[in-house]
Amino acid sequence: MSLASASLDRAGRPDRGLNADALNADARREAHGLFALLSPGLFLVFAVIIVPVGWLFWLSLFDEAGQLSAANYARFFEQASYIKTFVTTFKVAFFVTGACVLFGYPLAYMLSQLPRRAASICLIFVILPFWTSVLVRTYAWLVILQRKGLVNTWLMDLGVIGQPLPLANNFAGVVIGMTHIMLPFLVLPLYASMKAIDVDCLRAGMNLGASPAATFRQIFFPLSLPGLASGLVIVFVLCLGFFVTPALMGGGKVIMWAMRMEQTTSLYSNWGAGAALGVVLLAVTLALLGLFHWLLGTRVTGVWSRR
Amino acid sequence: MSMENALPISHRQRLWLYALGGLVMLFLIAPSVIIVIMSFSGSSLLEFPPQEWSLRWYESYFGSLEWRDATVVSVKVAVMTAIVATLLGTAAAYAINARTLRLTGLINALLTASLIIPVILIGIGTFFLYARIGLNNTLTGLVIAHTVQALPLVVLTVLSGLRSYDMNQEMVARSLGAGRFSAFFQVTVPQIRFSIVSGALFAFITSFDEVVVSLFISGGETTTLTRRMFNALRDQIDPTIAAISTCLIVLSIVLLSAAQLFGRGR
């Protein structure tokens, strides 16, 4: 009988038959069964993410003497080193996001215009780095950009420069390395949205006499903006909390938000301060994603399924 | 194929676009290629192209007990994560797909929380929690933490498989007398197995490449490969890491190709 009950239940029809009670009980059992399937996963997420993050939030409300206070948050405005960290983080995020748009838009556009077969071959160039360890890619950039690295050696051999350029262990190195890591996060959603643009719209524009450039500017580009915005938000948000590349390529000079959190907790064991940093980071992240959701009415996370 | 690109713009007019796109593709792929080539260098100077070739960095990787132990830990954790995350994720995806539960929004938000919450916060929070319950520096702790990271990928992959599958087939099997479980395993699973396998592969690679959380919660005998690599890179640029990196790149290629092949079987 479970089959009949399931279909009735699914249709959402109120059941007033003779065996209504039995059917309702069956539907309830079905719902319980489905919830039982969900519960192990939900429990793990709850235990390992929600509980610790909530706990950190609670910790951030107390000062070192154990008194309830806003001291952990107040110091963000008072201490110059914190302000410097925030400025650096946003600066890196802006530069990396900008570079990703600059490099990612033409690539996504090209991919969307290529025939299917060629596009799927070229996509490998985006997906393979995407699935390669962040550590491996950061190491590669260290090797390429360091003082006696590939770029400097080649440029010096060619006589372009006399002295090695400072490319690694500084701001430039962090931006270059992070751009490489973030690029696929922009290209993949952007490519997907460009693929969804109806070619007939473009053809209509051209039939009506628009030049290729005008068609792009007036039809294609505006239609690609939601995809671009989606990729942009993802990249920016990921940059704000990024740890590995700045920690390895910043040379100790580029201190970003996540590094500051690691230092405060691991080095100085100041859990309240580190937790407060985390709470603000999470708040900024959620605010940006929420703003995006509110403005465009689509979720950003959908993009992840392409990974 | 020609229909979808029937715009009256010739390839020649698009040369600049291909050149630009090609350069960006080069930027994306060059680091991996350079590391693979350098890993076969005979010198410790990391010059490119290498003057002499050798396998010494591979010998140094496989010959070192520390690196080998770390690799074994990572493989163990990744295999267990793949198994646990696939089981839990497939079960969750099945329940979500039924669409009869309330609070679907909340359930989705919870399951995908690890994609949105900054991973550094998860790392510190997990360390803090594990310190209280004695799970730091344990395989169990690592598997649990990595499972939570991999879960959303499995759920999304399996869900996309279920969406293109007609659930009525399972209903038919049940109306013909099959039990819930046998209907699922004999009718549904064979048809969504490609998504399940892809999800498992993604879970494996997510765990194997995970750095930030492992940095906090692994150590001592359970130091993961990525944690050891991270610490080694903080000190100096050891060419052994080029050999390890090459192995990781090959692993990514193999797993991605496997996922692709399974996907094509659909």
Picking from B25, B120, B129, the nearest residue to A125 by CB comes out as: B25
Whether A1 contacts chain B with CB within 8 A: no
Spatial distance between the Cα atoms of B21 and A122, rounded to a whole number of angstroms? 9
Same structural domain, B38 and B170:
no
Q: Which pLDDT belongs to residue A132?
A: 93
Same structural domain, B107 and B155:
yes
* A140 to B35: CB separation less than 8 angstroms, yes or no: yes
A42: amino acid identity, one letter: L
Please list every residue in chain A whose beta carbon sits closer than 8 Å to the beta carbon of residue B35.
136, 139-140, 143
pLDDT band at A31, cuts 50/70/90? confident
Spatial distance between the Cα atoms of B152 and B89, rounded to a whole number of angstroms? 7
Same structural domain, B69 and B43:
no
Same structural domain, B171 and B47:
no
Which domain CATH number covers B81? 1.10.3720.10
Fold classification of A79-306 (topology level): MetI-like fold (1.10.3720)
Q: Which pLDDT belongs to residue B251?
A: 94
Picking from B114, B148, B229, the nearest residue to A135 by CB comes out as: B229
Instruction: Report the alpha-carbon angle B136-A72-A62, nearest 5.
Output: 70
Q: Which of A198-202, A293-297, B158-162 is predicted with the least confidence, judged by mean pLDDT?
A: A293-297
Residues 6+ apart with CB under 8 A from B88: A40, A41, A44, B147, B151, B154
For residue B133, pLDDT over 90 is answered with yes
Same structural domain, B26 and B79:
no
pTM for this model (two decimals)? 0.89
Q: Which of A43-47, B123-127, B146-150, B183-187 is predicted with the least confidence, judged by mean pLDDT?
A: B183-187
* A247 to B234: CB separation less than 8 angstroms, yes or no: yes
Whether A169 contacts chain B with CB within 8 A: no
Picking from A6, A46, A199, the nearest residue to B110 by CB comes out as: A46
**What are the pLDDT digits (tens) for A177-210?**
999 999 999 999 999 999 988 888 888 888 888 8
Same structural domain, B108 and B207:
yes
Task: Tell me what the pLDDT averaged over chain A comes to.
Answer: 86
Q: Where are the domains of chain A?
A: 2-59, 79-306
Same structural domain, B46 and B154:
no
- B11, B26, B28, B148, best to mutate vs chain A, most A CBs in 10 Å: B28
What average pLDDT score do residues B201-218 get?
94
- Closest CA in chain B for residue A169: B234
User: Counting Cβ atoms within 10 Å, is residue B11 exposed (0-12), middle (13-18) or buried (19+)?
Assistant: exposed
**What are the pLDDT digits (tens) for A153-175?**
888 888 888 888 888 889 999 99
* B118 to A282: CB separation less than 8 angstroms, yes or no: yes
- B15, B20, B25, best to mutate vs chain A, most A CBs in 10 Å: B25
- Closest CA in chain A for residue B170: A3
Spatial distance between the Cα atoms of A149 and B228, rounded to a whole number of angstroms? 23
* A41 to B155: CB separation less than 8 angstroms, yes or no: yes
For residue B139, pLDDT over 70 is answered with yes
Which one has a higher pLDDT value, B142 or B113?
Answer: B142
Spatial distance between the Cα atoms of B237 and B42, rounded to a whole number of angstroms? 15
Spatial distance between the Cα atoms of A46 and A37, rounded to a whole number of angstroms? 15
Please list every residue in chain B whose beta carbon sits closer than 8 Å to the beta carbon of residue A56.
121, 124-125, 128
Spatial distance between the Cα atoms of B91 and B59, rounded to a whole number of angstroms? 43
**What are the pLDDT digits (tens) for A110-144?**
999 888 899 999 999 999 999 999 999 999 999 89
The total of structural domains in chain B comes to: 2
Same structural domain, B214 and B124:
yes
pLDDT band at A45, cuts 50/70/90? very high
What average pLDDT score do residues A83-108 get?
96
Same structural domain, B174 and B79:
yes
For residue B257, pLDDT over 80 is answered with yes
| Bridge partners for B53 per DSSP | B41
pLDDT band at A306, cuts 50/70/90? very low
Same structural domain, B12 and B38:
yes
**What are the pLDDT digits (tens) for A217-273?**
888 999 999 889 989 999 999 999 999 999 999 888 899 999 999 998 888 888 888
For residue A9, pLDDT over 70 is answered with no
B120: distance to nearest CA of chain A, Å?
A: 6
The percent of residues above 70 in pLDDT, for chain B, comes to 95
Residue B239 preceded by cis peptide, ω within 30: no
For residue B42, pLDDT over 90 is answered with no
Same structural domain, B180 and B123:
yes
Q: String of b and e for B192-219 (b: at least 16 CB within 10 Å)? A: bebbbbbbbbbbbbbbbbbbbbbbbbbe
CB atoms inside a 10 Å sphere around CB A81: 9
Please list every residue in chain A whose beta carbon sits closer than 8 Å to the beta carbon of residue B45.
148
Please list every residue in chain A whose beta carbon sits closer than 8 Å to the beta carbon of residue B229.
135, 139
* B21 to A110: CB separation less than 8 angstroms, yes or no: yes
Does the interface predicted TM-score (ipTM) exceed 0.95? no
| Bridge partners for A68 per DSSP | A62
Spatial distance between the Cα atoms of B225 and B248, rounded to a whole number of angstroms? 10
At A1 the three-state DSSP class reads coil
Picking from A3, A47, A129, the nearest residue to B28 by CB comes out as: A129
* A128 to B241: CB separation less than 8 angstroms, yes or no: no
Same structural domain, B187 and B243:
yes
Domain residue limits at B254 = 64-264
